[in-house]
Structure 1
Amino acid sequence: MSHRDAYGAYGESKVASNVTTDEAFETTDLPPEKAGTAADRKDMARMGQKQEFKRNFSFIPIFGFAAVLMMTWASVLSSASYILPNGGRPAMIWIYIVTLFGFGAAILSMAEMASMAPTSGGQYHWVSEFAPKRCQKLLSYLVGWFCVLGWQAGIAGQCFTVASEIQGLIVLNDASYVPQPWHAVLLTIATVSTAVVFNTFLAKRLPLLEGLVLILLVFGFFAILIPLWVFGPKASSADVWLNWTQVAEWPTMGVAGLVAFTGPIYALIGPDACVHMAEEVKDASRTIPWAMVSTLITNGITGLIMTITFAYTLGPIDAAMMPEYNFAFIGTFYNATQSHAGATVMTCIIIILTLCSAISNVATASRQMFAFARDGGLPFARVLCHVRPGWDIPFNAVMVCFTITCILSLINLGSTVTFNALLSLGTVALLTSYMTSIGCILIKRIRGEQLLPCRWSLGVPLGWASNIIGEAYIILAYLFAFFPLFNNPTLQTMNWASAVYGGVAIVAAIYYGVWARHKYTPPVAKLAKDM
């Protein structure tokens, strides 16, 4: 029986009762590069989806893909400026530890769901399968929109971060340089252009690239850690672990610390990246969960070590809260080495890793967009879900990601405040998808309903604990992600993510009412009911 016959020409659930065993998927008419394993073919048939991509990611490349996209130890350096005004040095460490456990539980929950349903759709697919029947369609539709939105904002955020880091590097080496918004726009567009080249013309080499950059992630960690400990100034342990301070003027230190959650979340968000590449991974239902857990352990530990190191070697905290070079870490590198060349090399490592993270962001966002369009959730769905023959990538979706990032970067010319709100929106949107999908599987556990079989399972006690802890943490983080960094904000310091978030939800609801409710096919409707 051919793979096409198993699910029909357009992905409908047409699996006959005599092909539900694993043996039925041992043979296939698919070309070897797309065939994957019998488990992959069975999963795709159960979900009623057509195999259109090459399965060229094994464990190491997909682990590198997720690890480099998150690049936690480098991201804690970039996000320090968000935490320091709301707790100082101790906040960097203690809030990171809380986030590591809380968000780690959420990652474990999503790893188990990825083993149940390894699909590029990710969270919106899980919601469609696990949500109560009366709200499966609408809820999965809204989560799909927020997933697409979150990853589009993620591309813009990473590309803009590269641009800002380059500007800070120029200031370090040329005191006469005055950064201009249009410089950042051009650098952002140049960055996303590079990312698109790797995701189109060099797409076949993407697994190799991820493996190589994983090596840079490891060696870069030591290349920055060692000079900081050897040459950097050392704060007292009392200041680092106990001296909580804030300049954000919140009524209590507790509120300030909760607002500071944004920093560690920024460093740890994005574990679902490899899920959205699921249809390009060999033995996805087993490989992806292990990649997510391995990323959590590796990035979590290196991130904690770098956080403690940075807290000790930060230098004057007042200068760090108002960084001269756009990011506090560039000044810290220079203070430690007292060398423009040394600080430049260390900063370049961060820039290269951030660029590679942007490349992974484009790959993830395009697959998420492709999957949602495949189910009719977006305008121009047929165009967006088209896979170019021979290239075996969602080329149209990649180019739309490029266009959206270029348009978003132009906003910076008129209003930095608005642009920063769009970047903050990426975190909130992804937290929405995590919160909803974990909440749905937790409801199934509470109701005593049977979960889907999976090859990577947390088991009953750990499954309950991960769902509850992960959901509780994400709800808390979600609420405070809307807060501005400073109390009594001005128009320039206000966090406008709530306005943009609400606006997108309204647009999605209107589009659903007018058009998508007739066109959107929730993934649960495509399932092979007899498997």
Structure 2
Amino acid sequence: MQELPLRELPKGPAEAQTAAFDGDDSDLQQSPVTRSYDPSHDKRDMRRLGKRQELKRRFRFSSIVGYIVILGLTWEFSLVTGTFSLANGGPAGAIWLFFVVCCGMFFVMLSMAEMASMAPTSGGQYHWVSEFAPRSHQKLLSYIVGWLCALGWQAAMPSVAYLGAQQVLALISVCNPDYVIQGWHGALLTIAFVVFAIGFNTYALGKLPLLEGLAVVLHVFGFFAFLVILWVMGPRGSASDVFTGFQDQSGWGSTGLATLIGMVGPATTLLGADSAVHLSEELKDASYILPRAMFSAAVINYVLGFVITVTFMFTLGDLNSDVASVTGQPWVAVVQNSTKSFAATVVLLVVMIIMFTFCAINQVTTSSRQVFAFARDKGFPFHTWLSTVRNDGVPANAVFVTLGFTVILALIVIGSTAAFNIILSVTATGLFASYLIVICCVLAKRLRGGQFPPTKFDLGYWGGNIVNIIAICFLVLAFVMLFFPAVPNPNAASMNWAILIFGVIVVFSLAYYYVKGRHEYEGPVEYIRKDV
């Protein structure tokens, strides 16, 4: 087979760049929806990556866009977590920080999309670090990022299931005002959510692309239902208070600092720029379709999330009574006060429960694929068992690990919700750290004039530099803010223990690496072939 040269990034804007692996970019003029599928592209990608095609390619452009949109669930998360930023920043802080995070995550997404086109693999960030980091740091950095990504996505599963469980508890409270929410109720419902999601991923995975279409329809109709109801029937705040009413209710002594600390809410809402990356090996024509799907879904998510955030801040009404709602969900109190209707509140709650169920199903898929990929490269203990794939293309053992991990964490809710939330902080810190590390590696290699694989989503030399630099600046700021407590001078209960959990994971991965991992883990770069 004739060897095709790797793409070398030009030293300036005037030099041409390669757009595709085969040197023919005529098919790039086609719409990703109407583009005919050529399996040779995916085969060539897998051959270059040194991987066998074990998972089934079930997804196309429309279904993978739906997958990303439903896993992101931005307008739903914006409602559920909308009050978290009010103490730090107020309504204006919540709105403008959401806009800033949208802009920052957009550049992160563009950076990830280019890498996804270069190397469309379920491994995602740890693979890209292994391939693009300086040679002397490839193995160790890749190993740490693999652990951060895997545990970050594993912790995201109980987060989504618990939020879904809280909506069920809110529904019970609306239907029975005498009901008192107990910790073990939330734990059992969290387990129920994940068991259903695991069951779907284990026995009905072939129906997942169809499910995405149904979920997107409900997602869009639900968005307009909430939007119309809140604007037509809800109380209306003044534009000056909503858009310029920055507040420091927590007592930081600086409205600017308080507003930045409020970034945690929108940052976690918009987390997951890599969500579809881990389905690269289940997507047809991945190197072309995936980056375009990531771009399209990001625009949809950011617009819907921002519109609902603005709507929610305008129609809050009495914040104190909303937060004190017996349902435990301030957004439910806002809907109740706006509609004055039991039936409308129940219907909207049911919509939210269904959407979180869809999100949980997608969450299992991404979480298990990250575990499968890292185990396939011998990054985990029991990697042979974890990387086993059934004949139907389902990595069942990795799926069941997600079930066990979520059940164990869900049981913590019975004893302490605070401890549960502390552990789940690894979702944001782990994934943000992985984004930061891999984009820094790509930018450093780009500035050195290094060689990259051909890509069908080329940002160009200068465009890539600008996108990467903006993404890094945003990630550094967001990463630091993730470790701030919600209030100054916190006690043990209000302290942000995210730094502890993050440190434990890094130390543990390093310890395991030096004890055993370095003898088994070679890094994906060692399997890459240059003859394709």
Assess if the C-alpha contact under 8 Å between 1:240 and 1:311 holds in 2: yes
Residues 207-286 of structure 1 correspond to what in structure 2 (within 5 A)?
207-286=209-288
Does the alignment pair 1:103 with 2:105?
yes
Tell me which of 336, 340, 357 is aligned to 1:338.
Answer: 340
CA contact (8 A) 1:65 1:274 kept: yes
The SS at the match of 1:177 is coil
**Aligned residue pairs: how many?**
504
Using a 3 Å threshold, how does the CA distance of structure 1 residues 18 and 272 change in structure 2: closer, same or farther?
Answer: closer
Offset of residue 518 of structure 1: 0.4
How many Å separate the matches in 2 of 1:18 and 1:292?
30
Offset of residue 204 of structure 1: 0.8
Q: 1:340 to 1:246 in 2, by over 3 A?
A: farther
Q: Which amino acid aligns with 1:178?
A: V
Residue 173 of structure 1 deviates from its aligned partner by: 2.4
**CA–CA separation in structure 2 for the residues paired with 1:54 and 1:278:** 10
Q: CA deviation at 1:271?
A: 2.3
Within a 5 Å distance, the mapping from 1:329-478 to structure 2 comes to: 329-389=331-391, 391-478=392-479
**Alpha-carbon distance in 1 for matches of 2:258, 2:264:** 11
Q: Displacement of 1:433 after TM fit?
A: 0.8
Preserved CA contact (<8 Å) 1:81 1:327: no
Q: Deviations over 1:184-216 (max 9, x none)?
A: 110000000010111011111011111211111
CA shift for structure 1 position 442: 0.9
Cα distance in structure 1, aligned partners of 2:273 and 2:155: 16
Q: CA deviation at 1:69?
A: 0.3
1:327 to partner: Cα distance: 2.1
2:162 matched to which residue of 1?
Answer: 160
Structure 1, residues 38-84: CA drift from partner, whole Å, max 9, x if none?
Answer: 11111100000000011110011111001000011111111112211
Aligned counterpart, 2:52:
50
Query: Is residue 412–residue 419 contact of structure 1 (8 Å, CA) maintained in 2?
Result: yes
The answer to whether the 8 Å contact 2:89/2:260 transfers is: no
2:482 matched to 1:481? Answer: yes
Is contact 1:36–1:55 with CA below 8 Å preserved after alignment? no
Equivalent residue number for residue 490 of structure 1: 491
**CA apart distance, 1:317:** 2.4
CA distance in 2, matches of 1:19, 1:86: 54
Aligned pair 1:63/2:65, yes or no?
yes
CA distance, structure 1, for counterparts of residue 225 and residue 470 of structure 2 = 35
Asked if the contact 2:117–2:287 (Cα under 8 Å) also holds between the matched residues in 1, the reply is yes
- One-letter code aligned to 2:204: L
Query: Helix, strand or coil: the match of 1:273?
Result: coil
Please say if residues 152 and 401 of structure 1, whose CA atoms lie closer than 8 Å, have aligned partners that are also in contact. Answer: yes
The 5 Å alignment of 1:122-161 reads 122-161=124-163
* In 1, Cα distance between equivalents of 2:218 and 2:354: 9
Higher mean C-alpha deviation, range 449-458 or range 175-184: 449-458
CA-to-aligned-CA distance 1:470-517 (integer Å, 9 cap, x gap): 111011111111112222222222221211111111111111011010
> Do 1:75 and 1:266's aligned partners in 2 also have CA atoms closer than 8 Å?
no
> In structure 2, how many angstroms separate the alpha carbons of the residues matched to 1:74 and 1:202?
25
Distance of aligned partners of 1:36 and 1:492 in 2 relative to their CA distance in 1, 3 Å threshold: farther
**Equivalent residue of 2:84, what SS?**
helix
Match of 2:510 in 1: 509
Q: Deviation at 1:371? A: 0.3
Deviations 1:360-405 (A, max 9, x none): 110001010000000000010000000012x211000000100100
Cα shift at 1:318: 2.6
User: Greater CA deviation, 224-233 or 477-486?
Assistant: 477-486
Query: Deviation of residue 421 (structure 1)?
Result: 0.7
Instruction: Quote the residue 1:525 is aligned against.
Output: 526
Listed one character per residue, the Cα deviations across residues 13-38 of structure 1 (whole Å, up to 9, x for unaligned) are xxx55699859xxxxxxxxxxx9621
Q: What amino acid sits opposite 1:358 in the alignment?
A: A
1:334-377 C-alpha deviation (Å, 9 max, x unpaired): 11111121112112212211111111110001010000000000
1:496 aligned partner, one-letter code: W
SS in 2 for 1:249: coil
Please give the alpha-carbon distance, in whole angstroms, between the structure 1 residues aligned to 2:55 and 2:248: 50
* DSSP-derived class of the 2:452 partner: coil
SS in 2 for 1:272: coil
Q: Deviations over 1:123-165 (max 9, x none)?
A: 0001111111110000000000000011010001000111112
Correspondence for 1:174: 176
Look up the SS of the partner of 2:479 in the other structure. Answer: helix
Normalising by structure 2, we get a TM-score of 0.92
**TM score, norm. by length of structure 1:** 0.92
1:462 deviates by 2.5
Letter of the structure 2 residue corresponding to residue 334 of structure 1: Q
What is the CA–CA distance in structure 1 between the aligned matches of 2:451 and 2:287, rounded to whole Å?
19
- SS of residue in 1 equivalent to 2:139: helix
* Aligned mates of 2:208, 2:148 — CA distance in 1: 26
| CA–CA distance in structure 1, aligned partners of residues 313 and 460 of structure 2 | 37
Distance 1:154 1:417 in 2: 16
Shift of residue 246 of structure 1?
Answer: 2.7
Aligned CA-pair RMSD: 1.6
Deviation of 1:323 after TM superposition, in Å, equals 4.6
Q: Which amino acid aligns with 1:493?
A: S
Does the 8 Å contact 2:53/2:281 carry over to 1? yes
Letter in 1 for 2:447: I
* 1:3 alignment partner in structure 2: none
Paired AA for residue 524 in structure 2:
P
1:172 positional shift? 2.2
Counterparts in 2 of 1:267 and 1:503: CA distance versus 1, 3 Å: same
Q: Which amino acid aligns with 1:225?
A: L
- What amino acid is the match of 2:196? T
Distance in 1 between the 2:463 and 2:123 partners?
A: 25
SS in 1 for 2:328: coil
3-state SS in 2 of match to 1:200:
helix
- Cα displacement string for residues 399-448 of structure 1 (whole angstroms, at most 9, x for unaligned residues): 01001000011111222221011122211111011111111111112222
| 3-state secondary structure, aligned to 1:368 | helix
If asked which structure has higher relative contact order (CA below 8 Å, sep 6+), I would say: 2
- Give how far 1:321 is off: 4.4
Q: Give yes or no for contact 1:169–1:330 (8 Å, CA) kept in 2.
A: no
Q: Distance in 2 between matches of 1:316 and 1:86?
A: 17
Structure 1 pair 426–63 and aligned structure 2 pair: CA distance change class (3 A): same
